[in-house]
Structure 1
Amino acid sequence: MSDVRTVVLVEGASDKSAVEALAERRGCDLAEEGVAVLAMGGATNIRAYIGRFGPDGGDLRLAGLCDAGEEEDFRRELERAGLGSDLRRSDMEELGFFVCEADLEDELIRALGTAEVEAVVDAEGELGSFRTLQRQPAWRGRDTHDQLRRFMGSGSGRKIRYSRLLVEALDLARVPRPLDLLLTHLRGSRTW
């Protein structure tokens, strides 16, 4: 961490995987740029990470990505660290913290469309497993978008694997807003 100047705080490993995949697609070597993306193991750990790397710790530049349901936790801890008061979402964005509606998988599925996501699932040889989920009583008749979100969240390591695969399948002109803004914030005046 001695070469790190910016720490990007994300909730989990799937978010980390997506951020790193998009940076690669845009030709950015995060490590070379002094950026470390850290999966916190859940949004409730934000206080410890801001304490360690923020103004009262390593005093590094901070940025982050969170789900809409965790926005208040992030807001409260940014304020507690002295990075603002009465922060609104736009204030958080100015600080480099961006919110996904409802989560990053939701954002990626909307950006790609369900047909394209199903094609990615098929290419991974898991379309049969997805169809099985669709036939389960609890998921039968539900929106395909919601079924895909559930599918991504089930199975060991599936969420992490698919976050990268979905980013790799994205048209770079259709990157979800929070992910796009985070990378734009990180690059500053760079052209990657």
Structure 2
Amino acid sequence: MDESGRRFGAAAVAWAAGGAGADAAAAKARELADGVRTVVLVEGDSDRTALEALAGRSGRDLGAEGVAVVPLGGATNIGRFLDVCGPPGLGLPLAGLCDIGEERHFRRHLERVGLGTGLGRAGLEELGFHVCVADLEDELIRALGADGVRQVIEAQGETRPFRTFQGQPAQRERPVEHQLRRFMGTHSGRKALYARALVEHLPPERVPRPLERLLTHV
């Protein structure tokens, strides 16, 4: 994988964070921006992992194509990254992915930087921003089905930890789909691990619409 997109993303993250290193990060991001065709803004590392894994299944290398997938570290940071990468900053073409609960943050800041007015879901999609219902894990679980996800968990050697999790008082009466979704967020790095593993097990015809449409856009 071409690492220029990752280097650009790291510089953009440091620039957006502000602080003592922001000026140097801004200079680095500007230097690397010439190799960036599109910036895809996503909420976290699991979203980036899923997109890159799904693209790889089609023989695409997003980094080599000049597509930089940049995790925001939380949807509420979208404004800072639009200021860095969008019209107020580098003026690069943008796309993105968010959870339905965070859609309002994306819509408000896209409008603030002049990328639309009165944006609805269709308007967001025209810009290249797509919404997961309810989030990436939910999309992948529904696409693969509970039994399919349990097979992936077994392949990862985590059937016993998952059963222990299911036995917790707060989880016992919840639907298995909810248990699966919550389980993926219990340890640091587990969301990204399962984002890749679930994508690798998805039949091509069952790729979630937000992921499919986003990759088609970029």
Same fold (TM over 0.5): yes
Say yes or no: does 1:175 pair with 2:207.
yes
Q: Match for 1:109: what amino acid?
A: I
**1:142-157 correspondence runs (5 A):** 142-157=174-189
Q: Which amino acid aligns with 1:111?
A: A
Q: Which runs of 5+ in 2 are unaligned?
A: 1-31
- Letter of the 2:217 partner, please give it: H
Match of 1:20 in 2: 52
The amino acid that maps onto 2:130 is F
CA distance in 2, matches of 1:51, 1:133: 41
1:98-131 Cα offsets, whole Å, 9 max, x none, are 0000100000000000001000000111011101
Q: Pairwise mapping of residues 17-166 of structure 1 onto structure 2 (< 5 A)?
A: 17-166=49-198
Q: Relative contact order (C-alpha < 8 Å, sep 6+): which is higher?
A: 1
Return the alpha-carbon distance in structure 2 between the equivalents of residues 60 and 115 of structure 1: 42
CA RMSD of aligned residues (A): 0.7
TM-score normalised by L of structure 2: 0.84
Deviation for aligned residue 1:160: 0.8
Q: d(CA) in 2 for partners of 1:167 and 1:108?
A: 7
* Equivalenced residues, count: 186
Alignment partner of 1:153: what SS? coil
How far is 1:142 from its partner? 1.1
Unaligned regions of 5+ residues in structure 1, if any?
Answer: 187-192
What is the one-letter code of the residue matched to 1:31?
A: G
CA shift for structure 1 position 141: 2.3
1:146, 1:81 → 2: CA distance? 36
CA distance in structure 2 between the partners assigned to 1:59 and 1:150 by the alignment? 37
Aligned-partner residue type, residue 6 of structure 1 = T
Identity of aligned residues (%): 62
Instruction: Report the Cα distance in structure 1 between the residues aligned to 2:118 and 2:129, rounded to whole angstroms.
Output: 15
